[in-house]
Every structure is written in C-alpha cells, then in structure tokens.
Amino acid sequence: MLRPLPHPVTPFANETLDSYRHRLAAANQTEFRTMRNPSRWLQCPLNELERLEVLSGQPRTTLLWALPELRRHAPDVVAPPEVFIFNTRAACDLCSERSGNNGQPIQVYLRGLHDNVCIRHRRWLSCGRANVFEQIDLSHAPEVVRAQRRLDRLERRHGTFALGTTYRHCERFWREIDRRALVHGDRDSVLARIYRPDSKTLPDRFDLIRSQRFHRAANYPQVARFTKMIISLAQRPKTERKAAHLTGTTQIEAEQVFHLDHRPRGITLPWLRNGLVGLVEVVADLTHDGEPEETSS
C-alpha cells in the first residue's frame, strides 16, 4: 500500500512540495496523483511528512530542511519560515543540474523580493524562465552579485521578515527615484554589460517585459546600497532621527551615499525629502532591535 519508491530523489533547498512530488513521480514513472494521496480510500493515518518520508526514503530531517511546507508537521525539528512567501520561481538552472534533476524543472520559494541571484553561478533568477525569460548571466556585472551578498548579510542580521519588508519599501521608492530620472548613471552602466538586445530582429511584444527584468537587475546594486543606508539611518535613536529630519540632514546624508545625477528641482525636492523621512520612520519600526524607543516626540 505505502512503500518506498525504487528511485530516490533528493529534495532541493526551499523547493515547493508540488515541485518535489512531481519530480519524485517522474523519476519513478508513477502519477503525480498517487504521490499526493496514495491511499485516499484507506483513511491514511499518516500526515504529509510521514507519508513522504516513507515514499521518498529520504531522512526526515533532509525533507524538513529542504521543503518549508512540511515544517508545520515538526516545528520542534526545524522552525517553520518566519513569513510564508507565496512567490515561487524556477531554481537556478546550473544548481538544478548539479543536484541531478534530470531535466525536471525545480520550483523554489523566494525568501522575499530581495532574493534574486544565485551567488555561486552568478545568475539573475527572478521573474521565471519561460521561453524568452532566460536566467541572466552576471559574469560581467559583479556588483549585482555583491548586492545579493550585502542583502543576505542584512537579512541574517535583521531577520527575513524585517529585511524583506524593508527591501520592498526601498525598491518601490527607488522605482520612483528612477522614474524621475535622478539616478540613471550607474544603472545604465550595468545594463550595458548584461543586456544585449538582438539588433538583427525587430523588437516584439516580449522585449518590453524582457527589458523590464534587465532593468530590475541593473537597478539592484543601487537598491541594495539604498536599503542598507536607510536601515543605518533608521537604527539611530529616535531623538537623533527627528532632529535629522527637521534640519534636512536625512536628505543630505542620503544624497551623499546614492549620488544623484542632477539636482532635483520643483516639486521633486519636497517629494524626495518627505519620502525619505517617511521611509526612515517605517524602517525604524521594522528594524529596531527591541530596546524601548522614547515615547515622547
């Protein structure tokens, strides 16, 4: 009724349960349906983890470390993820090959919007890889790989939830800065090294989506630096922060770090000032290390 399948498949780090079940089924030439519910008619007393343990023949801890969805069955062994991110994407092609996936696609969970690069293989992974959306080679843009390392360090220090949320706010703000053409210099230099549109073919409807991905990758080093700077401003004591906001020091310090292409004019100036102050305060709430903040304002 429920016995180990003959061909074992090693689960991949952060793999989705469905992806693993599909690969296990493919390797053993059985149906995915069987994998999901091997004994529906029998009131199987085993939970998902126990069932998969028998079917896959993999040690319990291996399954738990690799497949986040199973952790709720044994939170004492490996704690479930701090936040459950519902975004998934294909794993790095080269990592998949190394793990012996036999050409089967592997889907993994993202740790957050900041999780984009395979550091080992220097590849930009995000946004899927159906047809034209191939993974981007970053061999000529080491700063994009360094940005991932920088964000990983911040994640270890502040936790996945705080860093993930902070990054999301910072990236959104950066998109606005980008839209106002304040910081194109560095981005264009990266873009030129990773994106070579085929000049022989006419642009088609995929090119826009395609180039958006490349733009996101090209902006990533700056967004990582920006995130780090916002966190360091946010970590200061509340009174010091408030004073910096009032005197305009927040904006001055920010501009020193991320170097604007030109001086903002007109309504952009107050927009930038207020935006930065708001962002620093949101991030202060997310990242303060637990020491009580002064309540008076």
Binding site for Zn ion (CB under 5 A): 92, 94-95, 118, 120-121
The rounded distance, in Å, linking the Cα atoms of 279 and 284 is: 8
The rounded distance, in Å, linking the Cα atoms of 141 and 217 is: 10
- Of the pair 118, 276, the CB lying nearest Zn ion is at 118
- Of the pair 23, 51, the CB lying nearest Zn ion is at 23
At a CB cut-off of 8 Å and minimum separation 6, what does 130 contact? Answer: none
Q: At what angle do helices 160-179 and 142-158 cross, to 10 degrees?
A: 140
Q: Phi and psi for 243 in degrees, rounded to 5?
A: -65, -45
Consecutive H or E run containing 276: helix 268-287
The rounded distance, in Å, linking the Cα atoms of 287 and 234 is: 8
- Of the pair 122, 213, the CB lying nearest Zn ion is at 122
Residue nearest to Zn ion (CB): 92
- 217 neighbors 194 (Cβ within 8 angstroms): yes
- What would the two tokens of residue 64 be? 């738990």
CB of 144 to Zn ion, least distance (A): 14
CB of 131 to Zn ion, least distance (A): 20
CB of 97 to Zn ion, least distance (A): 9
- Of the pair 54, 94, the CB lying nearest Zn ion is at 94
- Of the pair 106, 280, the CB lying nearest Zn ion is at 106
CB of 94 to Zn ion, least distance (A): 4
CB of 125 to Zn ion, least distance (A): 8
